[in-house]
Chains A and B, each alone.
Chain A
Amino acid sequence: MLALEFDETKCANCKAVSCLVKCQYMDLDKDEAKIEWQKVIKSEDSPVLDACTTCYACEEYCPFGNHPFYLIVERQEERGMFTAPRPITKQWINMCEPAGKFRLGKVKEQALSFCFIPALRSLARGRLFESALPSWILGAEFFCNVVYLHFAKTSVIKDRLPKITENIEKQGIKELICLHDECYGSFNSLAPAYGIKVPFKTTHYFEYLYNKLKEHKDAIKPLNVEVAYQRNCSARLVPETDHFVDDIFGLIGVDRVEREYDGENALCCGEIIRMVKGYKLADDVQKRNIDDIVNAGAEYCVFNCPFCYMALAEKMAKRGIKPIHIIDLCKLAIGEKPALEVG
């Protein structure tokens, strides 16, 4: 069985215990945090295990590259805990169970991964994807499975992820362009943390978009709009990709508004919280997030994750904010039509 590589000594020496102190859903000072975190490490009861909303953020708060969130999930599962209700957990596990259905384009050494999200296939159209597009993969057989962190089920990930990487490798893929941020997170944060080998190169679609936009520089008409950015949970796993957002915005002439819930302080889209904690906290999180965007004077809200988009698009549109996936935003800048629209 695959095991999490977690370095307890780092925590022993850690003064700030940022993982818990910075948590947006717990109110612990350094000392309390230290105590509770030690309990988690030692597999003892701790309110942390119940209070966690599975927002992924502590993965990024830890300055030492330890994996506090993965450890929390391990501990939750060890205790047979359910974060979301059991039937919902089952539903998600069953939904993405590989069934031997390989949905493939004309796969070449470089391939686009649409994960198990058909919306990504609709997004990846037009000139930016022209050359890469015939080569794609989609479906449960290629699904990154990271989502089960939300359900306290690393066992599912440990079971499925190695097979997924094998499936990808078997297609002869040498470079996988991940259109789902979370896939990139799974191959670059989660897989190494569990010692899972990833026998191909992975490229975040941000980087791909950035390069393609440069190729199509002449076609870009600066959009000159104020945008807010909805930073999603899995971005916490690979914060090193963040700079591409600003790089892309720079190329297409959009201005990222300053707002409270951005960067490390970003807020979850709320739908996972709805499943895990119920509607009250979810509604509160969504309201604070959208209020913040409105107050910051943004015209658009730009999404990285298609699920955040589905969770928030309609609610934002009702408040006069135009929701748009970053791929669609790039398409807009070169005069193409967006794929996802509200209504």
Chain B
Amino acid sequence: MEKYAEQIHRCFRCGWCKFTSDYLDLNCPSYKRFRFDTFSTSGRLWLTYAWLRGELEWSEHLAEILYSCTTCKNCVEQCPMGFADDIVDWIVGARSDMVEKGKIPPRVAHFFEAIHGYGNPLKLLRSDRGAWANGTKRYEPGDEYLFYVGCLGSYDENAQKMAMSLAELLNEAGVSFGILGSEENCCGNEVYMLGEIGLFQVLAETNSQKFKELSVKKIVTLSPHAYNTMKNTYPGFGANFEVYHYTQLLYDLIKKKKVKLSQNKAKVTYQDPCFLGRYNKIYDEPRRILQSIPGIELVEMERNREDSFCCGGGSGNFIMDLLAGGEDSPSRVRVRDAYETGADTLAVACPSCMTMFVDAIKAENLDAKLTVRDISQIVKESLASR
């Protein structure tokens, strides 16, 4: 993490990173929400540099500025400089310095405590982790896929429904898979993004070890966040398995006609999750799934794909919600975007997006007009056999 300290002064505070690629809108969620330049990418980088040089003392406000970044990577996409790819790493680096010095906002500290104590950020019992599963098979060596459900999928009411519909679909398609239930542990993606690298290492190592013991060859994740860390970071911890996001697997099953679809009339718009889109360039599979359902009309929000606007939930904010409050909070902005398309359904492929949008729709009084559905739910409702 030393590298960031030597590089961070390179930001010119030119602000390209505030926008979408066509400048149609402000696209850094925390800048959009707070509007002080300090809450944009350059604000974070300049203030961190000042802090490193001793020009500015640590304060809770400083830490909040740093932690209100959702690590959505819009800045990485838009910054024209040669270092663009490293920006989020720099932010994570700065956070890890703050973690090491014990200087983090209380809400972030609570997040870590919860993971330490409960293996999930919601402080719910480990033993209840598989409670949603309702007879879903436990993973055994020999099963083709381990279905990694993640913290939200395990505990959050709405995300649980995603997990259930996906499990049902996989069963329907005859996929051999199992879950870990109460033996599952947090994937660590958020912990990493929040800069608690030590805790992340423990999580990554124990998870990898467990997967190895169970001879896991393929993992399918509900959450793009878990997909991201398992695919891109776990290999550094000796992990050796294939990782898929469920939309990839589902699209494959549809192509192979293992999942057969019938008419389902709806006008749907789709939210690209940052950890699926900008992080892993998976833009097409979710859209193809929706487009293969007869009767579904897919309409795009103005900002989509690389230019998609973050739901505001990244970097643990689906729990901590440092960007909440007011009509400029990213999730509320985004459901308005969705509503403007004329869609009746906002399709998601991520439990964080799901949680954020369910609340935002209420706050915007759009309950009667727009519903959030996970892609697995939409597919389940469109099954031909029903």
Check whether chain A touches chain B (CB < 8 angstroms).
no
The chain B residues found within 8 Å of chain A, CB to CB, are none
